[in-house]
């Protein structure tokens, strides 16, 4: 759970990463990223601790990033330090792309969420979030769509 400084939220933010099988043994391979957004009252550990995420996605060839969204609905608001969308799109995605071997383009990302996390995708950007495709079209393990 590496923490990082967020100017958009004026503080330290945490996120959790699930690396795909083969990440260490295939150092030249790049991976699509699934940004999983938790529901209200949750945190960056919910998806990994309350589901069988590693078991279900471990062999899927995806890098999974689970940010802590507090109870901020993942959108920017008028209140001070409520720049959740800016934090994800402007800070977290570029940070993950620079730190991990990602497919660092729109068709290499998807941003689904549960409850509050789903609000961001479905209400703010019904055609797909900035940085996602709406409906993921991840490349297969051979690199083709």
What are the domain boundaries of the chain? 3-124
Extended strands (E) in 1-145: 3-6, 11-18, 33-35, 63-67, 109-110
Does domain 3-124 fall under CATH 2.60.40.1180? My reply is no
Residue 28 is encoded by which pair of tokens?
Answer: 């030249």
pLDDT, averaged across the chain:
77
pLDDT reading at 143 higher than 70: no
**Contact predicate 31/63, CB 8 Å:** yes
**Contact predicate 7/114, CB 8 Å:** no
pLDDT reading at 97 higher than 60: yes
SS3 content of the chain, % helix, strand, coil (to 5): 25, 20, 55
Residue 132 is encoded by which pair of tokens?
Answer: 């996602």
**pLDDT at residue 122, rounded to an integer:** 52
CA distance 86 to 92: 9
pLDDT reading at 82 higher than 50: yes
Q: What is the pTM of this model?
A: 0.77
Q: Average pLDDT of 4-15?
A: 81
Q: Average pLDDT of 80-103?
A: 86
Q: Average pLDDT of 54-60?
A: 81
**pLDDT at residue 79, rounded to an integer:** 63
Residue with tokens 């999983």: 36
**pLDDT at residue 1, rounded to an integer:** 45
139 versus 12: which is more confidently predicted? 12
């Amino acid at each position: 759970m590496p923490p990082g400084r967020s100017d958009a939220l004026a503080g330290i933010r945490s996120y959790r990463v699930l690396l795909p099988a083969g990440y260490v043994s295939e150092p030249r391979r790049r991976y699509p990223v699934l940004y999983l957004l938790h529901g209200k009252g949750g945190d960056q550990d919910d998806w990994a601790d309350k589901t069988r995420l590693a078991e279900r996605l471990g062999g899927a060839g995806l890098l999974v990033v689970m940010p802590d969204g507090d109870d901020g609905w993942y959108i920017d608001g008028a209140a001070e330090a409520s720049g959740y969308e800016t934090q994800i799109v402007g800070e977290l995605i570029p940070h993950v792309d620079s730190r991990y071997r990602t497919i660092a383009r729109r068709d290499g990302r998807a941003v689904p969420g549960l409850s509050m996390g789903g609000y961001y995708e479905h209400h703010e950007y019904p055609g797909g979030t900035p940085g996602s495709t709406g409906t993921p079209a991840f490349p297969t393990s051979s690199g083709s769509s």
